[in-house]
Structure 1
């Protein structure tokens, strides 16, 4: 790319080995990975989308996106690597010193564009690390040896989602302590509202919800 990249989103499947296969699960005729990448590419505020593909599944990931990426190669790249620590050097030279870095779970395929925008904006306004969160809806219990010992006050509890947004300096610092920074690298992060549609699609029930979401057309149109 000729111009320096102001914002980059890394798509990862780094949580569990099984996630590589889950990312290729079909929802409404298209694999989850394709839904994820399309949502990012349809967000004009993002300059570059990098699919961080473990070497063993790089070919299958590339094949899955073959009809989506042509003509968009300047905005979407595949970089094989076992972790973002391995992938990042291939992208780092193209980044502006004030670039915003997003790290997004490939299985959160239906994250609304407004969430991407809010994370980007909040980092640009000065936050070093930003995480979308949702309030806890369930009653939470503490247990010991299989017995309930207390009810946990859920007022201050939140469920965390991706994308995690980093300033470039914060991302480099996170890479020093984690091969693939994400929700394990968010202590002290600023929060923004998450969205129920940004669920992690990893179970049969969640796949059913995802099918209903796509069939219902309850997704944002690109701006």
Structure 2
């Protein structure tokens, strides 16, 4: 793969996982005998499109992350672990900086995927669809999963102990639960992060996904079909669901199953 046609990935894995109740980073939690970190990295590699993966890690777990990736012998794509930031947005910025350094300050990457280790079961077919769509001329592409619940807009309670108030009902036909990986042209992702750099310093202002930063610079974001397997592991319930799903898919190829559930 030539430098001008290269697709690369930033894998954010610096989250604490405090809501899971473990005393170590979420990316080190295991599903079917493999860490979320390894699952997510293998999923990216299984597309056959990614030439380099940059992983962002908590400052005191860089060595542990490197050891996990080294011991994941199936992972043949070159990788690098860098220290993440105080927010997800800051971590992605650290990943961008690492890719720029790797390219000698003059990157010519075609597509960059930004993925979360907290979504370890995202299918390779979905990732490939995102890459192909960016290559087709859509500069910012995200996977979206149709919402099935009724969605209500709420207003604050009238008193401290009272329930919230319904302010309206959203049209769920136009709503999507947004997932990762999200795909961008390199130049657009860099420009969006540069414009939003001041937001990255605190959780209160930081963007929760990269598409938000692209929207903020006035660029269009396109949506392709997501997948139920790309669920985000945040709570103990999410972890239980992911473990059940992984056991049904099969641990050996869990990161590479296609949209129909067929292993590939």
Q: Which has the higher strand share?
A: 1
Q: For residue 171 of structure 1, what is the aligned residue in structure 2?
A: 189
1:163-210: CA deviations, max 9, x gaps?
111101101112201458624324230110000000001211111111
The TM-score normalised by the length of structure 2 is 0.74
Whole-Å separation in 1 of the counterparts to 2:170 and 2:95: 40
After TM superposition, list the pairs within 5 Å mapping 1:100-111 onto structure 2.
100-111=111-122
The offset of 1:78, in angstroms, is 1.8
After TM superposition, list the pairs within 5 Å mapping 1:4-83 onto structure 2.
4=3, 6-13=6-13, 16-18=15-17, 21-68=25-72, 72=76, 75-82=78-85, 83=91
The offset of 1:87, in angstroms, is 3.4
The offset of 1:98, in angstroms, is 5.0
Gaps spanning 5+ residues in structure 2: where?
A: 19-23, 86-90, 158-163, 201-206, 258-262
The equivalent position to 2:95 in structure 1, one of 87, 91, 104, is 87
SS in 1 for 2:145: strand
Retained in 1: the 8 A contact 2:53–2:80?
A: yes
Distance 1:150 1:89, change over 3 A: closer
Does residue 112 of structure 1 match 2:127?
Answer: no
Q: For residue 260 of structure 2, what is the aligned residue in structure 1?
A: none
Whole-Å separation in 2 of the counterparts to 1:164 and 1:150: 30
The offset of 1:85, in angstroms, is 2.4
The offset of 1:131, in angstroms, is 0.4
Q: For residue 247 of structure 2, what is the aligned residue in structure 1?
A: 215
Gaps spanning 5+ residues in structure 1: where?
A: none
Q: Which has the higher helix share?
A: 2
Aligned length: 219
**Greater C-alpha Rg:** 2
Give me the CA root mean square deviation.
2.4
Q: For residue 155 of structure 1, what is the aligned residue in structure 2?
A: 173
SS in 2 for 1:109: coil
The TM-score normalised by the length of structure 1 is 0.87
